[in-house]
Amino acid sequence: MNDDFKLPENCADMRDVRAGVDATDRELMELLDRRFGYMRAAARIKPDRAIVRDEARKRAVIDNARRDAQDRSLPAEPIAQIWEMLVETSIDYELAEWDRIRA
């Protein structure tokens, strides 16, 4: 897959759009890989499995995403729902990593 792509404002046809979406999806996956790396680090650092789930932190992360989406004129509530799933998936991953490290 070619990593050359045009920014949205420079797209002339659907081929350009699709190339940009595909490139952006690859970048998102790289960012998710890094985010889950932080979950592995947290699992390694946190001394107690019971503190993996932090509801206050979860709310703050989702609220930050909602606010950032609003500031960018993006659909804030659906993005907050995506972040809810992302955070829950991250917590599940961190719990599994915590268990794996200490097995």
State yes or no: 55 annotated in a binding site: no
State yes or no: 35 annotated in a binding site: yes
State yes or no: 94 annotated in a binding site: yes
Q: How many CB atoms within 10 Å of residue 98?
A: 21
At 13, which helix (H) or strand (E)? none
| DSSP string for residues in 17-61 | HHHHHHHHHHHHHHHHHHHHHHHHHHHHH-S-GGGS--HHHHHHH
Contact (Cβ atoms closer than 8 angstroms) between residue 83 and residue 62: yes
User: Do you know the residue count of the chain?
Assistant: 103
State yes or no: 77 annotated in a binding site: no
Which residues carry a binding-site annotation?
18, 35, 46, 94
Which residues carry a binding-site annotation for substrate?
18, 35, 46, 94
